[in-house]
A and B are shown apart, each in its own frame.
Chain A
Amino acid sequence: MLDTPSARFAYQADGLTLVTGSPLAVAFPTTTDGVAGLVRACCAIGLPFLARGAGTGLSGGATPIDGCLVIECSRMNRILEIDPVNRTATVQPGLVNAQLSRQVVALGLHYAPDPSSQSACTIGGNIAENSGGPHTLKYGTTSPHVLSIEVVLPDGSICTLGRRDGHSVGYDLRGAFVGSEGTLGIATAATLRLVPLPETVCTLLAPFGDLVSACEAVSAIIAAGIVPAALELLDDRTIDAVEASVYAAGYPRNARAVLLVELDGLPVGVAHERARVEALCSARGALDVRVARDEAERLAFWRGRKGAFGAMGRLAPDLYVHDAVVPRTRLPDVVARINAAAERHGVRLANILHAGDGNLHPNISFDRRDAGELERVRQIGAEILEICIAAGGVLSGEHGIGLEKRDYMGLLFSEADLAPMRWLHDAFDPDDLCNPGKMIPQPRACTESNPRHREYAAVEF
């Protein structure tokens, strides 16, 4: 247990550093019983608490409320069981995502969800946020890969949601728990699906002279019935940032967009799809189509994409990684509108897109010490959401709602839509002690009557 000012400072935010809170203390349990004991102690005195993994979340889901207890799960990082026959692994929540795949690669298996932060983020955090990643297009987000979850409920009791065989008995509470942003309880173990490693992987890099052509190539690939493992798009500003950084991947500086396509499967199938993708990209005006000749070149292609967020650290002291989803065919129009808004607001914005899913990450570089710029960042953050919702999109594809977008839920959902979300929450946490105030906006009457909600209502984003 840590309660020094420096410790409390270190845990004041997750990856969304624009919003902070000061916890009472930070606890480091090592067992499920330890977590349950902490939760019961919090319940006994009405102390709010929240679980935290690596703190790499980008929506403020792990931002503490002032005076709460942070239950830090990084010491619960063991793999409890690997079952190669049924292709499952049972792990503790503090296990780092990439560590799991490294441990099972010798069995010809891997854990498919691969957030960009996978070298640091933990399975517990991935479950809380229903994390995605570049390979979500083919393999799905976290939820379909979670079979069962051992949970410490907000009253301190321990239960298992779902079954390790993946069969549901009763309401799919496992499915409801994944992506609940730590508001329904604390995951203390999970049984996860493992997926066979593909026999062949082929990665192509296609630079384009304009973003619209690159988006058209994306649509053409999908329309051809090809399901790539990944279909990523970087705009010219991202290319510039990457190529000027240590993550330089050889992306052509004259390109206005770069499409990264990864195909996997049986060698005969991949060879066929590779030829099709090359032809489709060329037909849509690709300046060139490069195929990674070996694993080193494939990793180099990916180094630029995976390092893009880090590369943007060169542009300004602070980075706001936005996240929204629109119908895939609306991407060119939506990106154009977002870029125009950025210009209007005078902010530096670069786009990374999980284009196959219609998932945008507009990245805004800024300096928080400039109050005017900070305000402009907040304004364009809201405008991006409005643009995406108007295009038929949603608020988040993989980062979650947290504090960042909680008060924008009304853009997408009516009060009637939000009511069942509150019912679900209340069934798990009637006293509202478990990571309170996240994700679901409170009705006005509750905000006025509940002191905890008053505090969160004061949070501006």
Chain B
Amino acid sequence: MGSAFEAVVGAAHVCAPARPDLDGVPIAEVVRPGNAGEVAACLALAADAGIALVPSGGGSKRGWGNRSCADSLVQLDLGRLSSPPAVDPDEGIATAAAGLPLEVLEARARELGKTTWLPSVHRGATLGGSVAADPLGPELSLDRRLRNELLGLEVALPNGTLTRCGGRVVKNVTGFDLVRLYCGSLGTLGVITEVTLRLRPVPEQSRVLERVFPSVETALPLAVELALEGGAVGAGLLAADGELRLLWRCEGREAELAERERRVPGSAVDEAEWAALGAVLAEGAEPWLGPGPARLRVAGRPSDTLPIWSALAARGHVCTPRLALPLVGVVYADVEELALPTIVAALADLGYALQVERCSPELKQTLDVFGPAPAVEALLRAVKGRFDPRGILSPGRFVARI
């Protein structure tokens, strides 16, 4: 079948995979389209031939998702869709191809006095991959969600058409909000080929502050105080070497930062300390290379942070909480694989959202990494069935093994 894709993208852009499988499902070949039209043509071809595709960007979150139910996969690598971004600082928007690395976009935006609010902890992450996977980052709050930064998308659909949704303006209620539907859909509804997003002013100053606590019970009240004071753009509670370090970042003018620090004092620390939070997040997306703990993400309300952490810590012999993002109620833990199904079931019973970000391919054969299917499973399947009736896009990898 490789020859068929060669007719679309050229023989030079169909190659053998660097890794032979994805979660144990063989990857037959890697197809590298050079533009959005070729992406759409690849989808049309795959739909006609019943070939299962798995879109990929930088591969930085390659392991996220369930094991595909396909017998084999063709990897649709969007890395060639990386032309320079169109950054318009006057309008405060940028449009870029899906395969563009986030750091390239950010660097260009910074040159023009702007920044993005995209989580950038995963090395090599691309714009399209980030939109599809909707990752979290330490600078995350209910105000700063990736999906709120998106203005428009170009998406290739399984019927072979290239479509647009949203727009290139900062306010828009024209038709159904498909942008939000595609965001976080893990490439199961369409393949994102271009993204238009909001740009933000670069803050004049930025400061990372820290306090060290003996226990999570003493650390989290400060996190609540931070949230109420409203000054932190992100916060992380990091377990390391027997200590709990609460780090938070403030942005603004010098006088504002001084005022915030007066209200909630902390020790100023180096940016590298903040990067440690991102490093823990990035671990969850690293490929599985052998025995080791799985990575579990559990999410609830901000006030759930302590109960989630406590519930995980109570299984101390098999489960180690590593990091919490208290402003959004998220806790990351390393979990021994044997205990993972039990812990996932227990936390799901408590009503928390969860995702096993990293585990062995063997475990994925029996474990739904997103936990029990949600109550709206039928609706999710109805949506998938209409967008991708032949089930060619990442079949089985999404929530409820959709």
What total of A-B pairs shows CB separation below 8 Å? 228
A-side contacts of B382, CB under 8 Å:
427-428
A-side contacts of B10, CB under 8 Å:
none
The answer to whether B168 and A269 touch across the interface, beta carbons within 8 angstroms, is: no
**A182 on interface, CB distance cutoff 8 Å:** no
**A450 on interface, CB distance cutoff 8 Å:** no
How many angstroms from the CA of A159 to the CA of B162 in the assembled complex?
32
The answer to whether B181 and A165 touch across the interface, beta carbons within 8 angstroms, is: no
- Stretch from A138-146, A247-255, A344-352, A376-384 that touches the partner: A138-146
The answer to whether A169 and B145 touch across the interface, beta carbons within 8 angstroms, is: no
How many angstroms from the CA of A428 to the CA of B376 in the assembled complex?
11
Residue of A nearest to B145 (CB): A144
The answer to whether A421 and B178 touch across the interface, beta carbons within 8 angstroms, is: yes
Residue of B nearest to A88 (CB): B301
**A80 on interface, CB distance cutoff 8 Å:** no
The answer to whether B163 and A395 touch across the interface, beta carbons within 8 angstroms, is: no
Within the complex, the shortest CB–CB distance from A158 to chain B, in Å, comes to 10
The answer to whether B328 and A166 touch across the interface, beta carbons within 8 angstroms, is: yes
**B167 on interface, CB distance cutoff 8 Å:** yes
A-side contacts of B265, CB under 8 Å:
none
- Residue among B92, B142, B173 with max Cβ neighbours from chain A (10 Å): B173
Decide: A397 near B171, CB < 8 A? Known: A266-B259, A427-B379: yes
Task: Pick the contact of A416: B113, B162, B329, B353 (CB < 8 A).
Answer: B162
Task: Pick the contact of B180: A140, A176, A358, A359 (CB < 8 A).
Answer: A176
Range class of the B interface residue count: 35 or more
Tell me the B69-92 residues at the A interface (CB within 8 Å): 89-92
Within the complex, the shortest CB–CB distance from B151 to chain A, in Å, comes to 10
**A33 on interface, CB distance cutoff 8 Å:** no
Residue of A nearest to B399 (CB): A170
The answer to whether A173 and B376 touch across the interface, beta carbons within 8 angstroms, is: yes
How many angstroms from the CA of A259 to the CA of B184 in the assembled complex?
39
Decide: A170 near B145, CB < 8 A? Known: A159-B379, A268-B255: no
How many angstroms from the CA of A409 to the CA of B165 in the assembled complex?
12
Task: Pick the contact of B380: A165, A171, A219, A421 (CB < 8 A).
Answer: A171
**A357 on interface, CB distance cutoff 8 Å:** yes
Task: Pick the contact of B376: A141, A167, A170, A219 (CB < 8 A).
Answer: A170
**B300 on interface, CB distance cutoff 8 Å:** yes
**B337 on interface, CB distance cutoff 8 Å:** no
Q: Fill in one digit per residue for A423-440: 1 if any B CB lies within 8 Å of its CB, else 0.
A: 111111000000000011
Range class of the A interface residue count: 35 or more
The answer to whether A171 and B163 touch across the interface, beta carbons within 8 angstroms, is: no
B-side contacts of A322, CB under 8 Å:
none
Spell out A's residues near B (CB within 8 Å): 83, 85-88, 129-130, 132, 136, 140-141, 143-144, 153, 159-161, 163-173, 175-176, 178-180, 193, 196, 219, 222-223, 225-227, 265-266, 268-269, 272, 325-329, 354, 357-359, 392-401, 405, 409, 412-414, 416-421, 423-428, 439-440
Inter-chain pairs besides A170-B377, A179-B176, 17 sampled, C-beta below 8 Å:
A85-B224, A132-B171, A143-B177, A160-B376, A167-B353, A173-B383, A176-B176, A179-B177, A268-B256, A272-B253, A327-B168, A417-B164, A417-B165, A420-B165, A420-B178, A427-B386, A440-B176
A-B contact pairs, 17 of them (CB 8 A): A85-B224, A85-B302, A159-B379, A169-B374, A169-B399, A172-B180, A173-B383, A175-B183, A178-B177, A222-B92, A223-B89, A225-B202, A227-B201, A265-B256, A266-B252, A328-B91, A354-B171
Spell out B's residues near A (CB within 8 Å): 89-92, 113, 134, 142-143, 145, 147-148, 155, 157, 159, 161-165, 167-178, 180-181, 183-185, 189-190, 201-202, 204, 224, 227-228, 230, 252-253, 255-256, 259-260, 299-304, 328-330, 353, 370-371, 374-377, 379-380, 382-387, 398-400, 402
